[in-house]
Structure formats: C-alpha cells, structure tokens
Structure 1
Amino acid sequence: MSHKYTNALINETSPYLLQHAHNPVNWEAWHPEVLKRAAEENKPLLISIGYAACHWCHVMEHECFEDEEVAKMMNENFINIKIDREERPDVDQIYMDAIQMMTGNGGWPLNIVALPDGRPFWGATYLPKHNWVKSLEQLIELYKTNPDKILGYADDLERGIKAINLVENKEETVSYSLEQLSSAVENWATYFDTFLGGYKRAPKFMMPNNIDFLLHYGTSQKDEKILEYVNTTLTRMAYGGIFDHVGGGFSRYSVDTKWHVPHFEKMLYDNGQLISLYSKAYAVTKNDLYKKTAEESIAFALEELADENGGFYSSLDADSLDENNDLEEGAYYVWTAEELQTILKADFEIFKDYFNINSYGQWEENYVLIRDKSDKDIAEKHNISVTALKEKIDNSLGILKQERTKREKPRLDDKILTSWNGLMLQGLVDAYRYLGDKSYLELALKNATFIQTKMKKADGGLYRNHKKGKSNINGFLEDYASVIEAYISLYEVTFDIKWLKEAQQLTDYTIVHFQDTDSKLFYFTSDEDDSLIRRSIETNDNVISASNSIMGKNLLKLHKVYMDKGYGDLANEMLKNVQGNFDQNAQSYSNWLHLVLYKQQNFYEIAIVGDDYKSIGREIAQNYLPNSILVGSPEEGPIELLENRYSEGETLIYVCIEGTCKLPVQSAEEVLKQL
C-alpha cells in the first residue's frame, strides 16, 4: 500500500509510533540527536505522548495530526516528537508531573511544548483541532516575541519538577509499628465502598496492590471487616462488566461506581497482577469464583496476548470497527437485547436474569454483561440446580464467543515489555502455586526462559522492549524489580537454583547501576542512560506498584537466603526513608506496607531437604503464607539454609527465623502448626 507521507517513525518497532508513521507531521522518536538538532535550529520541541490502546490518542491523531494544514504549521515551527509512554515511562513521568503542575490534571494524549533542551513551558491533554491550532499559534508568537517570559516559565517548572521528586535520607531509626499500621489502615478504610467494592468514586480502577496488601493484613491480623471488604471488591469486580465474561480478562477501569462499563482496553499489566491476586484470594477462601476468574484471565492472555516464543504482548485497543466500519469504543464487546435473544433462543430468559439484560445492565443503546447475584440465587429463582445453571450459562457464553469471532477484533499492541512480562510471570507462578494446574508452571517456565534469553543484555542487564527479534531500549528499574520478584517466586515452586541466582545477579546489577547512595532508594533510570531534566525516584504505588517498593520486598526476601550480603539493611534503609508517608496516604504505599508486616511479625524461612522435597514443597506452597520464603533441595543445598540439614532416608523440614531453626519436622501439616 502506498502512502502520501512517511516520517522517521517508520524505523521504530512500537505499534503506537508506527500508527503515526504516515501522518503528514514530521514526527521523530525521542533520541538525543533530535534534541541536538532542535537546539541548532532554535525550535521548540512539540512532544506528544500516548500509547496504542488509548482512545483519545486516536481521536486527536485523526482530528489534528492527519490534517495537512495543521501538520504544515507544526512542521514549520516545531521539532515534533512522538513517544510511546509504555516504551519510555522515564520521559512520560517527567512530563506528566509537569502538566499536573501546570493544569492540575493529567492524562493521555499528553502534549508538551518544551525548550530545545527538553524543559517544558506549556502542556495539554486532548484538544480538538480548533483549540490545538489556536494554542500553538499563541505559543509560536510568544516564543518569537518574548523568549524571556518562556525561559522564566521553563525555569520555574524545572525547579518544581526536581523538587517534587526529592527523597531525603531520614535520620530516624524507629521502625513503623503495627499500631501505626492499624491506624493508617483505619484512616484508609474511610474511603472504602463496602457495598460495591473499590473506593467511593468513579471512575473505578482495580488497584491490585491495594487489595493484595489488605488480603495480607486481614489474614495476618484476623481482621474480619477488612477481609469482608476484600471479598466484596473481588466479587464485584469479577461480576462486573470490567471483566469480559465472554472471553475472559479485565479491562483497565470502569467509568461508573458498580464496575459496569469499562474503558474497554485490556492491558497485560492489569491481568498479570489480577491473576496473582485472585489466585492468592482463592488460597485463603477456596471461593470457586476466584479460581474461575484467574483461569479465564490466563485463557484470555494465552489466546490474545501470547507470543509463540513465550513472551506476552502489551494490550488490546479499546476501539474496534463497528458494523458501519467506524472505530468505536467497546464495539467488539457489547450486545443488543435483540441480538442476544436471537442467538441464545430458549436460554435467553435465564441468561437475561444472570447478566442483567435490563436497566441495570444497559449502557446507551447496548448491554454490557454484569452480574449482581450468586449462582445459588439465580438457580433458585429458575428452579434448577446450580450445576444445571452453570452448564446453561457456560454454553451460552460459548455461543456468544463464537458469534463474536464474526466481529472485527480490537487492534493488538504486539510489543513485549519486560516489566509487564515480569508481572504476568508472577501471575502464572501464583496460579500454579495456589490453583495447582501444572500447565501454568509450563507457561511460567517458558516465559521466564524468554525473558532470560531474549530480554537480557550482554553485560547482565535487561532490555525494556522486544519486537520481532529487536530490543533497543535499556531496562528501567520497574523491569528489574518485577522480573526479580517473579524469579524469586519461580524458585519457590521449582527449587531450581538457577532462578534464585538470576534474581540475585539482577539485584546486584541494580545496586551498581541504579542506586542513589544517599537515600539507598533506586533511580528509575540506569547510570548508563542519557540524562533528562531529573533522574526520577519512583516511590508511590499506583495501578502498578512503585519499582522501589517491589525492590524493597525483593531485597528483604533475598536477605533471608543470603544473609551476609547486606540486602536486609538496604531494605530497612529504603523503608525508613518513605515510612513518613504511610499515616495519611496508605493506599499510595500499599506495596511498601507488606514490609512493615514482614518486619513486625515473624518472617519464616522454610527449608526442605530430602528426596520428597518437591512434593512437600508443593503441599506447603499451596497455603497462603505471605510472611515466608521456601527453599529446598534433595541433599545438601547450594545456599546456607540448606547446609548441614540432610539426613539420609528422611525428608526434613526446618522452620527458621533469621537462620535460627526449630526442630525439624517431616510433614506439611507439622510445618503449618509451627507457623
């Protein structure tokens, strides 16, 4: 197919950047030589940041960036840079902070105008064509006639961007106590929606790390109110339209309070984390809904996001072509009542009750499938058994899935990102650990091997991205943190020392290349990367946990295995320098809070030595034991916890705290008693 325009993005691998390769705008990717040219030509940078599954990014592209007159004005006056935020979260973080300082809001598309050196002085998210053109004309005039004013804006913003990311090295040595944690959770709980789950607001994001911590807290403190809230949230999310009942997997967030109408994009990072969360929740509750939700989310990822080499792609778009061949959000997923009645025939009446084909489930002219009653309630209403009901519903969903194949599928973002694959790997490991399906371990090993062989650099570091055999961006801290965490977990279910060694090697690499020697926290970027306005330190847990909070947990767990390496002291220093934020903002530090429970309660090293080490390990691992790490070997092992523990003809299990062990026992049941 011939194109009227082709720009420099044609040389990139990101699907989002390639979507813009035939715009009349002379887009460039973010490269040092582009900034150098901007300085030589004394042109401001116009930086537009988005991602492939972003609805409003596509709208703005169509309205502005495909328009020849708009492109002409942009090309004449700016050096235009397109960035895939998923490939370059380091750049996105800085400019997102900038726009929030300028406007109080953020989002994508994120459009920034900056000096040739990258310092921003103006920003906006989505703008329709008229507003976009008018804003750029005013900025061009100001840049030409009053450069001092623009320099003043840029200087002020630069100071602000640097100031909001400072982490001081605190002198205090007092650990955050369980009493303080209880008070922080109590304060946090005032925001809980105890009827519909999540928080009392719309839109609703799923926030897996929040619920993951509360599951840990509720079980360890025997707090029934917290556990009830966790179960309400998990049930309502699994019942909601945010979960794709036909094809499995979760969308990114719901626009309403009842988890009904999603923003229909499906992201690997959400699904990886939620697979992990629902698997753990199943271990605690044995609720079949949780098991089914995890299984169907894995099935979705395998069907839609799996690369044949073992990696997982990034996302499915929110938009797809409707019957009129127009791109429309959710077109692939929604139904009319007439369609459902025609397709499902005699089973429509039960299906209608089950998935609310009524005013509760209606969205505009269509229906988004949503549950609000248990199988038992629906079965009783229709005077059939729960088993018969499940058969009818599963059969109906199978028919709808087949019917949906006739529709145009949402576009796929087929780049592979290391950190998101780490999250998916963790999900698969947890699914194997708690649900017991061996195929999940096979998938996990295939994915782990992919990361080890395809995403690793010659110097022992990681790449960020991969597509069609090509990787060209250095890994960021989140790439290392999520992979290290998943490798440690993979070791616990396989006892293959290779994964523990990989985790340790990557940890040592981050200490050399990412650590801030003052605060002991880690920078988001390596010391080998080109410098930006600032070198960010990420501490707030968001939809994905902060890279530093994951590293803190990794260090503490590695300390339990390699006690002489100083990893535990590092984790303590990191925690000390962020714990001042916990009292009033626990939800934004929820992944950090695991460390408080690890430190303030017993954390167990469970060492299994003898012929039956794998089968006993499996038996122990299927229990939810967040304050523990499992190690095992058939004889004397390669780590200290496994030394001098072997007794011929026996399999002995040692429950230890900081290397000091209780008398050995010989069954999983006895271990659980000792815990």
Structure 2
Amino acid sequence: MNRLIHESSPYLLQHAHNPVDWYPYGEEALSEAETSGRPLLISIGYSACHWCHVMEHESFSKPEIAEIMNRNFVCVKIDREERPDLDHVYMGAVQLLHNSGGWPLNCFALPDGRPFWGGTYFRPDQWVSLLDQISNLFGNSRHELEEQAERLIRGVGEMSLIEAPADGQAISVAMIDESYAKLSWSFDPELGGLLGSPKFPMPVVWQFVMQYHRVTGNPESLAQLKTTLLRMVCGGLFDRIGGGFARYSTDAEWKVPHFEKMLYDNAQLTGLYANMFRHTGERFYLDIAEQTIEFVLQGLTSPEGLFFSAYDADSEGDEGSFYLWTREQVNEILPEYGELLADYWGIGGSGLWEKGKSILMRPTDEAFFASQQHLSEEELKQLLRMAGKLMLAAREKRIPPSLDDKAVLSWNALMIKALAEAYKASGNQRWLDAALKAAGFILREFSNGVGGAYKRVWKNGEARIPAMLDDYAYLADAWISLYQVTFDEEWLFRAKEIAVFVVENFSDQTGSFFWYSPLPVQSGETSPAVARIIGTTDGVEPSGNAVMARILLTLGLYFENSHYVDRAVNMVSNLRDRIVSYPAAYAGWAGVAMEVAYGKTTLVITGPDAFRNAAMLNRKFLPGILVAAASMESRLPVFSEKFVSAKNLIYRCEGNTCSSPVGSVVDLIL
C-alpha cells in the first residue's frame, strides 16, 4: 500500500496497492525529489485506459521493478482527467521528443518538475533498461539533462504562441468555403468519418459539417454526414443492446472499438444525433440519441443527478469481453429468433473478432435485411426491441467493466448541453429534468458562491481541484443552452458571470486568448503545473478557447456588449490561417468563424405566446440564430423597447439593428 490509498481518484486508487512508492502530484513529491536528489518519474493515465492497465500489471505491480523505481526516482501518479493542466505540459514534452504521444504517459523530470525525457507504454524489459539509462544520465550528466529540460519547457511554451495573420483580412465566406474544401479531402466517402485508422467519432468536426450544410446547402456535406452517422452505429463502436458509444474504432470500418465508454463522447454524440434529427427530420437519428441518453441516465448517473466519467474497456481480465457474443449464447437467450438475429448482428460473420466471439454489428440497410426475412421494417424493429431487452438482462449477469465514478465539471456541462439539445428535438421533459437536476447540484456544490470560481471534480461528497478553462467554457455553454430551452434568464446571467470570471482570471497577456489553467495563486490545495499553456486545437473535445469565442459572441448579442463581440471576432481572426490550413483540428473554430462570416441573427420573441413560438423554432436546427423569448418585461438588454401589451411579436435582429416585427413564426423567413 502506498500514499495513493488516501486519494479519491479511481485511477490513482487502482495503483494504491502497487509496490511502487507512488506519490500524488504535489509539494510533498517535489520536496522529496529536491531533498533526496532524485529525479521525478511522472506517470499519467486514466481509469478506463487499457494500456495503462497493461503497464500496471506488467511493471508497476512487480516488486523487482518497483525496487528499481523506488531506489532511483520519486515516483508520481497523475490522473489526467483530474489534472489535464499537468497532462498537457508533459504530453507536450513527449510530443516534442517523439512527434507522438498517448497513455500511459511516462515522463522523467528534474526535481522541480521540468521534464527532460519521456514516452508512452514500455514493455517490462524496455522499462527496466530505460530506468537504468535515465538513472545513470541523471547521476553523470545532470547538466545536459537540465539543458534538455529548459529546451522542452521553452518548446511547450512556444506551442502557445499565436501570431495574427499579417494581411489583416477579415473572416469571410470564401475562407469558410476553403476550410470546408480542405476538410473534405480527408473524408472517407465509403466508410464515413475521416480517412485512415484508428477512427475517432470527432463530433466537433461533424457538427461543423452539419452547420456548413445548413447554411450553404452543399450536397456533399450532407451525404458525408449521413454516411458517417450511419456507419458509426453499424459497427462495434455503438453498443447495440445497451446504448452508448465506445471511445474509438481501432480499424477503418468502425468494427472493433476500444471498448471504454467516456461521458464526453456520449454527451457530444447525443447532441450531434439530436441536431441531425432537427436538421433532417429522420427519426433514426433521434432513436440513436435516445438510446445514448438512456445509457447515460441508467449507467452513468449518480443519485444526486451528476454524471460519472467512464466505463473501463476491460472486464474479467480481457478487453471488451463484456460486450462479446457467440451464436450459441444468442440462441440460448432467444430460442425462437436466435438464428435470425445472429444474422442481423453478424455473429460468426461480419462481427467475428477473437476467440470465436463476435462484436454485435448492424446491417447498413435494415430495410433490405427485413425484406430478406419476410418482415416489415416495423416488425424487425419490434423484434429488436424485444430481443435487446432479453440480451441486456443476460449481459447484466456478467461481471461488468469498472466504473469511474468521479464527476468532472466540464463533462457534466457537455451532458447538460446535450440533454438540452435533445429536449429541443423531442420535447422529452424527463431529459430536461435530468439536465436541470445536474445543473442545480453543480450550482450548490461545485461553486463556493463567491467571485464565480468553481471546482473541477466531485468525488466522495466533496468538490476539489480548481476548475480549468474547459470547465468554465463548457459550463457557460451549458447555462446558455438551458436558457434557450427554459427561457429562465438566470441561466444567461450565470453564463455572463462565468465569462466575467474567465476574462479577469484566464486572459493571456495579449488580451485575445485564455490560459488553460488558473493563475498559480488560485490553485488552492493543488500544486500548479511547471508551465501554463494556451490550447487552441479541437480534438475529441472542443477547444476551451473556441467555446469561449462562441460564448462571447453569444453573450455579446444577448447583452448588447460590443466588447465581447469584438474579442470573439479577434480570437477567430487571429487563428484564420490555422482554420484554413488544418480544419480537422480547428473545426470548432470554423463553426464560430462561420457565424462571424455569415452574421449571427437574434430572434427576439415577446408576448403571451412567446415560449410556444420559441419552442416551434427550437424544433429546427438553426445554427447562427439565437432565440430570446419573454412573455413579460425583461432585464436583458436585447428586449429593450420590444414589448407591446398582450401582443405577440417576433423581431429579427442583425447586431443592434432589428427589422419590423412579425406576429407569428410562419411569417419568418429563415
């Protein structure tokens, strides 16, 4: 047993009984390294990481390897989901060294925390050899390692440097078209997603593509979007009987997933599929959103209404075994329809994977499969619903993957927003109630109620670790989403409070972008990272800076604050060249740039039927349009002088200029 036994992180607790003398990251570890003259060995991962488990089993649990680690290093374990600020720094160093990265992330650092070498997964023999090499280098060539550490920290810092385009050109429609065209070069038109493998869902990318189609009507964008959203649920990435998406597919066909299920993926994909239903009206997309929501509500929701972080990939010592089936198992559960459904799911055929077991698949053309079986599509759907319940009941008797039951603020905010988007599409009050319950808990327990500061992680009845930029940005976005379905103005004022806090406490020296982590003096009980970074790229989660740009643009219009609008436009303009050159990594920014290029419209709805009219508009996917609704006088500046007693009015406003009002939604031209 080591010091990690006193931590609350499920990932750290997984290592609490290692013979390695692990420290959590903090002053005690740094002080011990300084006092003993040993380098730091910093190992970073997360609870659902398969290869983290492998390295723990192969190396960290072995006494003979632990003895080498303990003798020559001060060993530190970090949960990257608790401390993404630390992960960004050490991942940046490894990427500079090797031009790649991943988890587990293993870095060697000077006693003050500055990294000088690192890598990802190592086999036991590689690991022992590396430990000896690093120990000898630290003892005999420390000066060279200090120079290396200085270069790496300088390089990590330079990743945050952003130079504004020299030509000063404004964001334009032509720039958006160029970004989309370059993005489309990487489309996989047959299998969906982006070319190559592994394949990540990348909801930020497809949200931009949907937005682009809605604005331009480009037929290729809709075709690629439909192919991607269909193919993602035809392979093993989507859990056919339990709902929810795995983290990514290891192959180009979306067949074999990395089986961990992350809240942040399922939240964003819920919103994506719900918005696709609003965009196309095709029920298939809402069905997928519904199944994903039910997975989250049934499997990732705490009694308090918070949303847990993840399910592991492994169970019973094997990756994915919880989700695999044989024909014999299916026939035992479904004796009357087993063969038919085994064919549908590709068991023993297209779904066959390892050890004679299969991943549940789905035909890309359900109508054709139904006709082959002499069934109507509706009969097939009813059969699948019945069979799915029986299969799920049987699967629940298996040993499940472990649950990471910490609640991360940013991911909870993503789920709140997703539930609000799904409510727009469906009107399902239960989903909105779940969003409001989580939001209420966050307001009570994650914030101290003073100055707008929040904590990042909730576990064991306690909120801890100062929130990062993503936490604040996603939370403000969630509050805006709640306003847009409830029209309770308190949510907008709470979003504005967050924006004020972020501007005051996270702004960089240029006044354009925002640091990822809070100022060291605000780190409270946690030790700050050895460097602060400014993250701008969109990945599996959107860039906090991109989300803040959209928030400032939105709040600037609701509150008629030109400074917010100007700062948002400035942020996007400074990244114009990157948005055009690397659209897949800046898709969130491309979406904000589109709102700038085409202009953002505010529909101000007043009168006794204001909320009913707003709900009608919410059923459609209308990117670039803000809805503000009030049935009586409002504190929001956007409503100023727009009420006429007992009269329903809808104003279309571009910036601060509004056209003459119309009396109903049908009179609007959108």
- Give me the TM-score of the superposition, normalised by structure 2: 0.97
Tell me which amino acid in the other structure corresponds to 1:505: E
**What letter corresponds to residue 607 of structure 1 in structure 2?**
V
Distance 1:173 1:555 in 2: 21
Per-residue deviation, 1:531:
4.6
Counterpart in 2 of 1:586?
A: 583
Kindly indicate whether residue 336 of structure 2 is the aligned counterpart of residue 343 of structure 1: no
Match of 1:513 in 2: 505
Distance 1:509 1:417, change over 3 A: same
Match of 1:646 among 640, 643, 647: 643
Matches within 5 A, 1:517-556: 517-527=509-519, 528-529=522-523, 531-556=528-553
Match of 2:602 among 601, 605, 611: 605
Which of 421, 426, 432 is residue 417 of structure 2 equivalent to? 426
Match of 1:68 in 2: 63
Unaligned runs of 5+ in 1: 1-5, 322-326
Aligned counterparts of 1:248 and 1:226: Cα–Cα separation in 2:
27
Please say if 1:355 is aligned against 2:345: yes
* Residues 12, 18 of structure 1: 8 Å contact kept: yes
Per the alignment, residue 384 of structure 1 pairs with: 375
Deviations 1:203-244 (A, max 9, x none): 100000000000000110010111110011001112221000
Alignment of 1:316-335 (within 5 A): 316-321=311-316, 327-335=317-325
Greater shift in the superposed pair: 650-659 or 279-288: 650-659
Q: C-alpha distance in 1, partners of 2:558/2:364?
A: 46
1:484 Cα deviation (Å)? Answer: 0.5
CA distance in 2, matches of 1:374, 1:435: 25
Counterpart of 1:369, as a letter, is: L
Equivalent residue for 1:448?
Answer: 439
Does the 8 Å CA contact 1:169/1:519 hold for their aligned counterparts? no
Once structures 1 and 2 are overlaid, which stretch shifts more, 444-453 or 404-413?
Answer: 444-453
Matched-pair contact (CA < 8 Å) for 2:231–2:364: no
- Structure 1 residue 314 and structure 2 residue 314: aligned? no
SS of the residue 1:605 aligns to: strand
Contact 2:60–2:66 under 8 Å retained in 1: yes
Separation (CA, whole Å) in 1 of partners of 2:395 and 2:248: 22
Whole-Å separation in 2 of the counterparts to 1:314 and 1:389: 34
- Hey, what's the Cα distance between the residues in 2 that align with 1:590 and 1:158? 28
Residue by residue, what CA displacement relative to the aligned partner does 1:113-152 show, whole Å, maximum 9, x if unpaired? 1101111112121112221111101111111122222223
Q: 2:140 aligns with which of 140, 145, 170?
A: 145
SS of the residue 1:48 aligns to: strand
Aligned to 1:80: 75
Q: Are 1:498 and 2:522 counterparts?
A: no
Q: 1:570 to 1:171 in 2, by over 3 A?
A: farther
Deviations 1:425-457 (A, max 9, x none): 110000001122111111111111122111113
CA distance in 1, matches of 2:364, 2:29: 57
- Look up the match of 2:465: 473
Q: Structure 1 length normalisation: TM-score? A: 0.96
- Structure 1: which amino acid aligns with 2:139? K
1:344-396 C-alpha deviation (Å, 9 max, x unpaired) = 22212321332222432111221111113323111211112111111111111
Q: 1:312, 1:421 within 8 Å by CA — same for their partners in 2?
A: yes
CA distance in 2, matches of 1:202, 1:632: 45
Task: Return the letter of the residue paired with 1:603.
Answer: K
Letter in 2 for 1:447: A
Taking the aligned partners of 2:163 and 2:35, their CA distance within structure 1 comes to 38
Question: For residues 366 and 451 of structure 1, what CA distance do their matches in structure 2 show?
Answer: 42
Q: CA deviation at 1:155?
A: 2.3
Structure 2 Cα separation of the partners of residues 518 and 172 of structure 1 = 19
Partner of 2:399: 408
Give a deviation string over 1:61-91, Cα, whole Å, max 9, x none: 1111111121122112111100000001101
Shift of 1:542: 0.5
1:368 corresponds, among 359, 370, 382, to 359
Amino acid corresponding to residue 483 of structure 1 in structure 2? L
Q: Which amino acid aligns with 1:257?
A: A
Q: Secondary structure at the match of 2:628?
A: strand
Residues 353 and 378 in structure 1, CA contact (< 8 A), matched pair in contact too? no
Percent identity of paired positions between Structure 1 and Structure 2: 38
Structure 1 residues 395 and 540, CA, compared in 2 at 3 Å: closer, same or farther?
same
Decide whether the 8 Å contact of 1:269 with 1:420 is kept in 2: yes
Per the alignment, residue 666 of structure 2 pairs with 669
Deviation at 1:525, TM superposition (A): 0.8
For 1:259, what is the secondary structure of its paired residue?
Answer: coil
Cα distance in 2, alignment partners of residues 49 and 447 from structure 1 = 29
- Paired letter, 1:351: L
Matched to 2:24, the amino acid is A
Conservation of the 8 A alpha-carbon contact between 1:235 and 1:289:
no
Q: CA deviation at 1:172?
A: 4.7
Q: After superposition, give the CA deviation of every residue in 1:3-25 in whole Å (9 maximum; x if it has no partner).
A: xxx21112211110111112111
Equivalences for 1:96-175 in 2 at 5 Å? 96-169=91-164, 172-175=167-170
Following the alignment from structure 1 to structure 2, what is the Cα–Cα distance between the partners of residues 354 and 286? 26
Decide whether the 8 Å contact of 1:218 with 1:226 is kept in 2.
Answer: yes
- Contact 1:169–1:518 at 8 Å: present in 2 too? no
1:437 to 428, 439, 445: 428
| Equivalent pair of 1:428/1:440 in contact (CA under 8 Å) | yes
Secondary structure in 1 matching 2:397: coil
Deviation at 1:37, TM superposition (A): 2.7
From the superposition, tell whether residues 667 and 489 of structure 1 become closer, same or farther in structure 2 (CA, over 3 Å).
Answer: same
Distance 1:385 1:61 in 2: 51
Within-5 A mapping of 1:558-573:
558-564=555-561, 566-573=563-570
Among candidates 45, 50, 59, match of residue 50 of structure 1:
45
Report SS of the residue matched to 1:655: strand
Shift of 1:519: 4.9
CA distance in 2, matches of 1:658, 1:397: 50
- CA deviation profile, 1:253-274 (whole Å, cap 9, x unmatched): 0111111111000000000000
Q: Distance in 1 between matches of 2:587 and 2:299?
A: 30
Residue 628 of structure 1 aligns with which residue?
625
- 1:238 equivalenced with 2:247 (yes/no): no
CA apart distance, 1:170: 5.1
- CA distance, structure 1, for counterparts of residue 589 and residue 208 of structure 2: 9
Pick the aligned partner of 2:478 from 462, 480, 486.
486
How many residue pairs match? The answer is 663
How many Å separate the matches in 1 of 2:46 and 2:319? Answer: 15
Structure 1 distance, partners of 2:128, 2:169, is 55
| Paired letter, 1:157 | L
Which of 179, 182, 185 pairs up with 1:187? 182
* C-alpha RMSD of the superposition: 1.4
* Conserved? CA contact 1:519–1:573, under 8 Å: no
Q: Which amino acid aligns with 1:481?
A: A
- Partner residue of 1:324? none
Q: Which of 249, 252, 255 lines up with 2:247 in the alignment?
A: 252
CA distance, structure 2, for counterparts of residue 531 and residue 577 of structure 1:
28
The answer to whether the 8 A contact 2:114-2:153 is kept is yes
Q: Within 1, Cα distance between the matches of 2:648 and 2:394?
A: 54
Q: Distance in 1 between matches of 2:365 and 2:137?
A: 62
State whether residues 555 and 561 of structure 2, in contact with CA within 8 Å, keep that contact through their aligned partners in structure 1: no
Q: Which amino acid aligns with 1:347?
A: Y
Q: CA–CA distance in 1 between the matches of 2:612 and 2:319?
A: 48
Q: How does 1:195-206 map to 2 (within 5 A)?
A: 195-206=190-201
